[in-house]
Amino acid sequence: MRELYPEITRVKKYSLKVSSLHTLYVEECGNPKGIPALFLHGGPGAGISPNHRRFFNPEKYRIILFDQRGAGKSKPYAELAENTIWDLIADIELIRLKLKVSKWLVFGGSWGSTLALAYAISHPERILHLIVRGIFLCRHEEILWFYQYGAHQIFPDHWKDYVKVIPENERHDMLSAFYRRLTSPDKKVRLEAARAWSLWEGATICLEPNKAMHHEFGEIAVSLARIECHYFMHNCFFPDDNYLLNNAHKLQNISAEIIHGRYDIVCPVKNAFDLKEKMPRARLTIVPASGHAAFEPGIRSALIEATDRFRKK
């Protein structure tokens, strides 16, 4: 099992104004002359952490990370206005231009895989390599599986905590019920719904119970829940339900790694197989004894092996 690279404390930090409303928090670390690598966090709304830098060899990579609109240290916090996947793709291009990057490796997990694929489809000429993990294709079936039916059969105990903030007469459409509360003018209502939504995800993200991960999802509840629900209510702002797979042919010439936990409950492993069918040249790794989280030992190791393979090419 591969361990994370050592902690990186020497970090350049930027504020990048991308609209009259939004200002992004951007980090850069590692080797300034190394292979440019862009890390895309999950959620949407989760934000970056110092450990995200550690998937890359800092002597070989120029590591670039940022908090997406409304997440982490980007401002305004948990903001839904001017927050679509097309805005995020435009933001990535602004970051690329600011940092004078021609091409880069793009690395994203969960929602980060969604954004990585969408960005690569829009700008394939800017991709050196692609590493995507815990594939989320933002199809209606995937959202229903986790937030309406399916996953509750595996975690019925945590499901009870998730649904208890929603009256029974609204539970036929959990997404809409949560959206009404997460956008309520009542702060108490918003916070109660945000914690229920986020703690459900935090409780199911790992194969084995992980109290630290569960706590972390409670800490980012407001931005995670509001922005995720906002995106899912709007089909991630894609023009159709199968946008990523319908356009994956544009990625045929990109060297890509697809990594997925066998027992991923948040994003079922079928998603990775569906993507692999559309990207036959990509390398697919199904990690045994693993769920969804990037820091589970098997997934962590596979991700580091992938970044190491690409630094040698």
- Residues serving a catalytic function are 110, 264, 292
Q: Which helix (H) or strand (E) element contains residue 159?
A: helix 156-163
Name the residue type at position 215: H
- Three-state SS at 304: helix
Burial of 209 from C-beta contacts in 10 A (0-12 / 13-18 / 19+): exposed
Question: What radius of gyration do the chain's Cα atoms show?
Answer: 18
Q: Does residue 263 contact residue 292 with C-beta atoms inside 8 Å? A: no
d(CA 117, CA 52): 19
Region class of 82: left (phi > 0), else alpha (psi between -120 and 50), else beta: left
Burial of 281 from C-beta contacts in 10 A (0-12 / 13-18 / 19+): exposed
